[in-house]
Amino acid sequence: MMIKQLKEGVLDNNPLLIQLLGICPALAMTTNVSNALGIGIATMVVLLLSNLFISLLRKLIPNEIRIAAYIVIIAGFVSAVEMLIKAYLPELGRSLGIFLPLIVVNCIILGRAETFASKNKVLPSLMDGFAMGFGFTFALIVVASIREIIGAGTWFGVNVLGESYQSVLFFIMPSGAFITLGCLVALMKKLTSFPKKVPKNSIESLESESVTAEKVEEPVEIPAEEEVIVEEIKEEVEVAEKNDN
Amino acid sequence: MITELLLLMLSAVLIENFVLSRFLGCCPFLGVSEKPAAAVGMGCAVTFVMTVSSAIIYLIYTYILVPFDLIYLKTIAFILVIAALVQFIELFLKKFIPVLYNEFGIFLPLITTNCAVLGAVLLNIEKGYDFIYSVSFGFSAAIGFTLAIILFAGIRERLEFADPPKAFRGIPLALVAAGLIAMAFTGFHGISFS
């Protein structure tokens, strides 16, 4: 159960690379891996706490004002996390800047509250929060690793590509963020749409089926003259039968 | 004073563009940019909400949160104010200006969770802008957002006819295109005001 949910959060239903939620922090906070880890863990903590409390309160919150109630719950935890980070990790707090309070409007958190925590019991909601938060953090670290290693030649601030490496500044710039994320989403799409995995619903498998169908039909279609001959013979037979009658 | 204000607005629109340089408001930027008409509607709605919310939140922050020493509540207060404001604007337009409501009414509920609006008011507070600066910053940042989303919608309309590899269809190709626009916008970094 736990492993299945974790796999869903990291691979099959990754919030960033498959569901395309939380793109703003994924673009802005991935210039280096430590920022990515910071915003990822902060998001995960908020997601865990909000999933826990929304799941606990799911029978008390009236349906009509549920979104407002969720936003207040989430904003409360975001403020708490923000104050904690600013108190104990002031340097990280400065480098995350306004993206720390902006966790409030991260679609992943409201999305999980609405689709999962409001309908499920406490323990599965907690695990869902952990799985989704972990998947998001994992995706952020992948994006940030690519950008930091190619763009600055470092990883977690440690030089990994040697002193002589000429860093490609493009990957640190905003345009590099968009293009790196675009390529990763495409890669993820390619990896998750293997025909053997999802034989019925994926478009690729349907297309490959139609290709094989064409190949089967082709040898039947090629001897078109024979078909004409067969039909002519049938007609002749019919005419002959009519004449006989 | 006036020159400074104009320079601030110009830099918010072009140099530090909200979407392409600060990465605020990426969700609607990717979600509502498939048709130029929808992009214009979204841009107008965001401009409206961002200008009004910059003004109101400046007043609430300066005259309620600071005097009563409630700054730690700012995230909760701001998001609630924005949500209420969006709801109010929606009702107001529906009742009094139905033409405008029909134009961009459907985009209004989406704006509550648009990080550009909350981002703009947080930046206003962080930089300590006064009332006029806050409103101009909110307005010009929203104009920058509108400019970016309209440009992007125009490009995406053409991408419909492109023939990329299967995995790149849709959002990945859009992200790469956005990257190219962002690269074009980095050209504005060369502008110097001194």
One DSSP character per residue, chain A reads: -HHHHHHIIIIIT-TTTTS---HHHHHHT-SSHHHHHHHHHHHHHHHHHHHHHHHHTTTTS-GGGHHHHHHHHHHHHHHHHHHHHHHH-HHHHHHHGGGTGGGGG-HHHHHHIIIIITTS-HHHHHHHHHHHHHHHHHHHHHHHHHHHHHHHSEETTEE-S-TT----GGGTSHHHHHHHHHHHHHHHHHHHT-TTTSTTT-HHHHHHHHHHHHHHHHHHHS-HHHHHHHHHHHHHHHHHHHHH-
B151 contact partners, CB below 8 Å, separation of at least 6:
B181
Distance CA A183, CA A172 (A): 15
Report A:162-181 residues touching B (Cβ under 8 A).
173-179, 181
Contacts of B14 in chain A (CB under 8 A): none
A75 and B183 in contact by Cβ < 8 A?
Answer: no
Contacts of A143 in chain B (CB under 8 A): none
B179 and A79 in contact by Cβ < 8 A?
Answer: no
Give how far A81 is from chain B: nearest CA, Å.
12
Q: What is the mean pLDDT of each run of 10 residues along chain A (245 residues)?
A: 82 87 89 92 94 92 86 93 93 90 89 89 92 94 93 86 84 92 91 59 45 42 52 65 60
CB nearest A75 (choices: B75, B180, B186): B75
Q: ipTM value, please give it.
A: 0.88
Mutate to test the interface with B, among A83, A99, A179, A207 (most CBs of B within 10 A): A179
Binning chain B into helix, strand and coil, the percentages to the nearest 5 are 80, 0, 20
Give the pTM. Answer: 0.81
Give how far B98 is from chain A: nearest CA, Å.
25
Reference A188, options A40, A6, A14; nearest CA is A14
Using pLDDT thresholds of 50, 70 and 90, give the confidence band for residue B144.
very high
- pLDDT, one tens digit per residue, over A201-243 is 444 444 444 444 444 444 444 444 555 566 666 666 666 666 6
Give how far B5 is from chain A: nearest CA, Å.
23
A154-155 and A158-159 as β-strands: parallel, antiparallel, unpaired? antiparallel
Q: What mean pLDDT is reported for chain B?
A: 88
Look at chain A and count its residues. Answer: 245
Q: What DSSP state is assigned to residue B189?
A: G
Which residue type is seen at B25?
A: G
Contacts of A187 in chain B (CB under 8 A): 167
Task: Give the chain A residue nearest B24 (alpha carbons).
Answer: A24
Element (H, E) at B169: none
| pLDDT, average across residues B62-88 | 90
Task: Give the chain B residue nearest A26 (alpha carbons).
Answer: B23
CA–CA distances in Å: residue A46 to residues A31, A50, A125: 22, 6, 13
Look at chain B and count its residues. Answer: 194
Q: Is residue B77 a contact partner of residue B65, using CB atoms and an 8 Å limit?
A: yes
Residue B139 backbone zone (phi > 0: left; psi -120 to 50: alpha; other: beta) = alpha
Considering only CA atoms, give the Rg of chain A.
Answer: 28
Report B:63-82 residues touching A (Cβ under 8 A).
72-76, 79-80
A176 and B179 in contact by Cβ < 8 A?
Answer: yes
Reference B137, options B125, B146, B124, B148; nearest CA is B124
B174 interfacial to chain A (CB closer than 8 Å) = yes
A94 interfacial to chain B (CB closer than 8 Å) = no
Distance CA A38, CA A141 (A): 10
Reference A107, options A15, A6, A5; nearest CA is A15
Contacts of B20 in chain A (CB under 8 A): 174
Looking up tokens 């290693």, which residue turns up? A149
Q: What DSSP state is assigned to residue B166?
A: G
Residue B81 burial by CB count (10 A; 0-12/13-18/19+): exposed, middle or buried? middle
Query: Where is average pLDDT lowest: A220-229, B60-69, B175-184?
Result: A220-229
Task: Give the chain A residue nearest B125 (alpha carbons).
Answer: A98
B167 and A187 in contact by Cβ < 8 A?
Answer: yes
How many beta carbons lie within 10 A of that of residue A147, not counting itself?
A: 25
A240 contact partners, CB below 8 Å, separation of at least 6:
none
Mutate to test the interface with B, among A14, A27, A96, A206 (most CBs of B within 10 A): A27
Tokens of A213: 């169908």
A24 and B118 in contact by Cβ < 8 A?
Answer: no
| pLDDT, average across residues B117-129 | 92
Give how far A231 is from chain B: nearest CA, Å.
43
Task: Give the chain B residue nearest A108 (alpha carbons).
Answer: B113
CB nearest B113 (choices: A25, A110, A177): A110
Residue A165: its pLDDT value, please? 84
Percent over 70 (pLDDT), chain B: 97
Tell me: pLDDT of B183 over 80: yes
A98 interfacial to chain B (CB closer than 8 Å) = yes
B109 interfacial to chain A (CB closer than 8 Å) = no
